[in-house]
Structure 1
Amino acid sequence: MTYDFNTIGALIGLVIAIILIIKKVHPAYSLILGALVGGLLGGGGLTTTVSTMVNGASSMMSSVLRIMTSGILAGALIKTGSAQKIAETIVDKLGQKRAIAAVSIATMIICAVGVFIDISVITVAPIALAIGKKANISKESLLLAMIGGGKAGNIISPNPNTIAASEAFNVDLTSLMLKNLIPALCALVVTIILATLLSKKKNGLMVEASDIEVNDTKLPNFFTAIIGPLVVIVLLALRPLADITIDPLIALPIGGLVCILVTRNFKDTISITEFGLSKVVGVSILLIGTGTIAGIVKASALQYDVINALEALSMPAFILAPLSGILMAAATASTTAGATIAAQTFAPTLIAEGVPCLAAAAMIHAGATVVDSLPHGSFFHATGGSVSMSIKARMSLIPYEALVGLTSTIVAVIMYLI
């Protein structure tokens, strides 16, 4: 085995990055600085460290390009009102008696069709709060329903985390999305059960009249709203169904443009695409920073030491896939960053150990949803703010969220073993 950096240096770099993120330093800068310090302390020298960081960032470019073009779809779904219409229709059809299930399913579908998980929660939140007020459901229960549904949708979506995992293992994006379908459905069921149990607890934060937003914007009909996402699904499905490859770089923006056209918002195309770009710029920059530290970790002895530790504990090598996803997502408080670092670092090792690429990518991806919503990440604060929840109350949901993510992870592992 050959490596440029030792394990201690790589781990110190990760710890420094985590501390800086907690201290509110921009995550991209935190990861870059952590990579630099980790490389130097890892014994690589300045030239080798910088070169490895640059190579790591360069390896992210294909993912960044696909994510940037995915912004067209996300922007179209949000600005045309299509995402809101899809959510409202699902909630209306399931009714007030099934409010928690409706909120979970709505968030899952919005996320699954290409809207980022935090934006999915923010989109569904006004609808959830309105129905929560009528049904007397606490904010904690509503937010858990949305977050859990979002986690379920996230592992079957063409979102940045899925793209990053598929790129690292060189597997088809559609195949990876389908691979986690059963884990996603299991996570959805657990979400509904946990949120229902949580709604029965006393002393929950109830929805106030001031929390309700009135939206007078005219929305498209449901059929029109769903056409854009359906186009994306059909285009991506052509590879496994007809052996016709339509790259997500093409499929995602085409779906967004179709959404803009069928909702008759073509005059606003420029502003919609600019809005979509603004939503993915942050993720793209984060991925570049993630690439730098992923490069250092990948070129370190960490992966070999982890394998040796697993062997010493008599644990099978495939456990590395979900475990790395869980740990890296917890470290970065980000599904995307966690899945990317884990996949970039351990893909060669997992492949060498005989774990199929698709299964390994699915287990890492599912694992990255377990503890990805810690307070040092933006998702924690964005989702809490969507329902006007205090930090203390928001933190009380973390164990429930972890159970949802753990459900999909365990099911993904079981599916690999079967």
Structure 2
Amino acid sequence: MDNGLLLLHTAITIVGIIVLIVKLKVHPAYALIFGILYLGIAAGLGLTGTLEALTGGFGEILAKIGLLIAFGITMGTALSEMGAIDRIVKSLLRIFGKQRSPYALGVTAGTALQAIFADVMLVVTAPVARGLARNIGRNGIPRVAAALVCGILVGLVMMIPSVGSLALSGVIGIPLWRYLLFGTAIGVVTIIATIFLMNLLISHTRFWNAATDEDWEVMDKLDAASAEETFPAAPVTGASSSPDSVTGGSESRTAVLPGTAKASTARPLPPIWLSLTPLVLTLVLVALGSLADVFGIEVDALAFFADPTIALLLGSFVSLMIVLGYKGQDGVKRALDSSFTNLGEVLVLTGLGGSLASLVKVTGLGDVLADFFSASAGPPILLAWLIAVVLHVAIGSVSVAAITSAGILAPVAAMGTIDPILIALAAGAGSVFFMTVHSNFFWMSKNLLGQTTKGAVKIVGVTTSLASVIGLAAVLLLGIFL
């Protein structure tokens, strides 16, 4: 197929999916399937080839992260059952205050937690984010969601030892200590500036509409295991309440589902250090695995236990055992029931996002774009950013977009006419531009952070685009001194 037609059909697919969901109110699962079928047939894969891409991509992405999501949500609800989420939220609010707590969450996710894979980090930190959103007050969901998404994705390409940063440093040939130094500086500036501008956009314009952009029903289901003492001042409203049914949608939303905390006050809560042990265990195991990869350490036992799936399995199991000891079988049942309430929808949407990304890969769009840009000329920093932008918008993968962009310009970096770190960071910044419906991370964010599809298009799409542009500006500024 002609390359121009392939680009056109891909653009029609992405825009069409958004229109079906946002304007025509088609369920995201069906909208994604329709988009996948259209692109596969239009790109010439035929009915059989399109079906293979649909099912193969679905299975491939769930094989990678399906269990991560399940175990992560289980650990999150167990932490909530133990009151750990509430105590973390209260600590953040006490130390930083309501207005600054999103900044603390975003910067922490973008720096200290970057030893974790992005999908794992989102699942693990989502319960804390939802707790903050309930307590911040007006516009809690968009502010916290923007901060967490920005922190995770910017850190993915800016902060060592994240997977994206390690790959970029390897492709360009940059010492890890140097990438850590400059990447951290650019990343922190980008995260703080993006959160600040998103807060202005959310709070001082009509950008955000709580009635259509927030999904409190899903929030309440995910947090149904939270004991009533977690939010003692909250009136119990029921699962079907609308976003504005509590305090008119303008104050803190802290209601939980009825009947989710039966007699929970009869047993004491575990110490906070014990409650957080499963989370710390998971983070330490995954971090050890990342460090082993960096230093070339090959130990079978370490590789097994440091695998994110096994690490989260152990973390979720330990968390349930702690719940069992302090809350009994009733507490474990509440945590597990809550874990699997919304798991089906999350997995289906994540799998279909993987199907669309797989289909784009099968059509060869990534190769088409790479060939085009490899023959182009222009300022290396701007070109690295632009290549990554186009690749990410087209194929939906942050890591692939960053690595491909950096790889195309690696010969330029080797010439010594420009500092290689600038090319790598520019490619990283471009690779997060406009994350949307063909990314599984988009659907995970939508389902785990209390947004409707329309709201997620606004928050995830705009936040990543803004972070990409700010990151480019920061890299250009750094270029003045390097």
In the other structure, the counterpart of 1:16 is 16
Provide closer, same or farther for how the CA distance between residues 266 and 153 of structure 1 changes in structure 2, counting only shifts above 3 A.
Answer: farther
Partner of 1:255: 315
1:226 counterpart = 2:276: yes
Q: Distance in 1 between matches of 2:84 and 2:371?
A: 50
Determine if contact 1:187/1:408 at 8 Å carries over to the other structure. yes
Gaps of 5+ in 1: 130-138, 159-164, 330-337
Match of 2:373 among 301, 310, 316: 310
Secondary structure at the residue paired with 2:44? coil
The answer to whether the aligner puts 1:284 opposite 2:308 as a matched pair is: no
Cα distance in 2 between the residues matched to 1:27 and 1:293: 13
2:384–2:406 Cα contact (<8 Å) kept = yes
The structure 1 residue matched to 2:68, chosen from 35, 57, 66, is: 66
CA distance in 2, matches of 1:18, 1:290: 13
Closer, same or farther: CA 296–271 of 1 in aligned 2, 3 Å: same
CA separation in 2, counterparts of 1:33 and 1:297?
Answer: 14
The CA distance in 2 between the partners of 1:350 and 1:17, in whole Å, is 30
1:102 aligned to 2:101? yes
Q: Structure 1 residues 103, 282: CA separation in 2 closer, same or farther (over 3 Å shift)?
A: same
In the other structure, the counterpart of 2:214 is none
Give 2:50's aligned amino acid.
T
Instruction: Confirm whether residue 123 of structure 1 aligns to residue 131 of structure 2.
Output: yes
Quick one: distance in 1 between partners of 2:202 and 2:353? 38
> Measured at CA, do residues 101 and 71 of structure 1 come closer, stay the same or move farther in structure 2, by a change above 3 Å?
same
CA–CA separation in structure 2 for the residues paired with 1:351 and 1:148: 30
Return the letter of the residue paired with 1:293. L
The 8 Å contact of residues 402 and 431 in structure 2, kept in 1 or not, is answered as no
CA distance in 2, matches of 1:108, 1:413: 21
**Residue deviations 1:198-246 (CA, integer Å, cap 9, x gap):** 79969999x9966345679876554334322211111112224454221
User: Matches of 2:291 and 2:368 in 1, distance apart?
Assistant: 41
In the superposition, the TM-score normalised over structure 1's length comes to 0.66
Q: What secondary structure does 1:314 align onto? A: coil
- Paired position in structure 2 for 1:134: none
Conservation of the 8 A alpha-carbon contact between 2:388 and 2:401: no
CA deviation map 1:3-54 (0-9, x unaligned):
9x94444444334333323323232322222121212122222222222333
Question: Shift of the alpha carbon at 1:383?
Answer: 6.5
For residues 18 and 200 of structure 1, the distance between their equivalents in structure 2, rounded to whole angstroms, comes to 24
Matching residue within 190, 193, 218 for 1:190:
193
CA separation of 1:201 and 1:24: change in aligned 2, threshold 3 A:
closer
* Pair 1:224–1:193, CA change in 2 (3 A): same
The answer as to whether partners of 2:434 and 2:460 remain within 8 angstroms in 1 is: no
Identity among equivalent pairs (%)? 18
Describe the SS at the equivalent of 1:297: helix
Residue correspondence of structure 1 range 356-395 to structure 2 within 5 A: 370-372=433-435
Letter in 1 for 2:27: H
Which string of whole-angstrom CA distances, capped at 9 and with x for unpartnered residues, describes residues 290-338 of structure 1?
Answer: 2322232112242233234434552567446641475259xxxxxxxx4
- CA pair 240-92 structure 1, distance change in 2 beyond 3 A: same
TM-score for both structures, normalised by structure 2: 0.58
1:237 to 287, 295, 299: 287
Deviations 1:41-91 (A, max 9, x none): 222222222223333233222232333332222332334332221121121
Contact 2:9–2:39, Cα closer than 8 Å, also in 1: yes
Task: Find the counterpart in structure 1 of residue 117 from structure 2.
Answer: none
Question: Contact 1:104/1:145 (CA < 8 Å) preserved in 2?
Answer: no
Equivalent residue letter for 1:327: V
Amino acid at match of 2:77: G
Aligned to 2:40: 39
Q: Which residue of 1 aligns with 2:51?
A: 50
- Tell me which residue corresponds to 2:389: 323
Alpha-carbon spacing, 1:87–1:304, altered in 2? closer, same or farther (3 Å):
same
Larger CA Rg, structure 1 vs 2: 2
1:109: Cα distance to partner? 5.1
Instruction: Give the letter for the 1:146 counterpart.
Output: V
Q: Tell me the number of residue pairs that the alignment of Structure 1 and Structure 2 aligns.
A: 373
What RMSD in Å do the two structures reach over aligned CA positions? 5.3
Q: Report how far residue 2 of structure 1 moved.
A: 12
Identify which range, 363-372 or 282-291, moves more after superposition. Answer: 363-372
Code of the aligned partner of 1:21: I
Q: Distance in 2 between matches of 1:231 and 1:318?
A: 38
Distance 1:127 1:238, change over 3 A: same
CA contact (8 A) 1:35 1:292 kept: yes
Q: Distance in 2 between matches of 1:272 and 1:365?
A: 38
Q: Are residues 349 and 411 of structure 1, via their aligned partners in 2, closer, same or farther at CA, if it must alter by over 3 Å?
A: closer
Contact 2:194 2:467 in 1 (8 A): yes
TM-superposed CA distance for 1:255, in Å, is 1.8
Q: Could you say which residue in structure 1 is the equivalent of 2:227? A: none
Partner of 1:75: 77
Q: For residues 384 and 285 of structure 1, what CA distance do their matches in structure 2 show?
A: 17
- Structure 2, unpaired ranges of 5+: 114-119, 157-162, 170-175, 209-243, 256-260, 414-420
Q: Provide the C-alpha distance between the structure 1 equivalents of 2:463 and 2:52, rounded to a whole number of angstroms.
A: 41
Stretch moving more, 272-281 or 364-373? 364-373
Q: Which amino acid aligns with 1:29?
A: Y
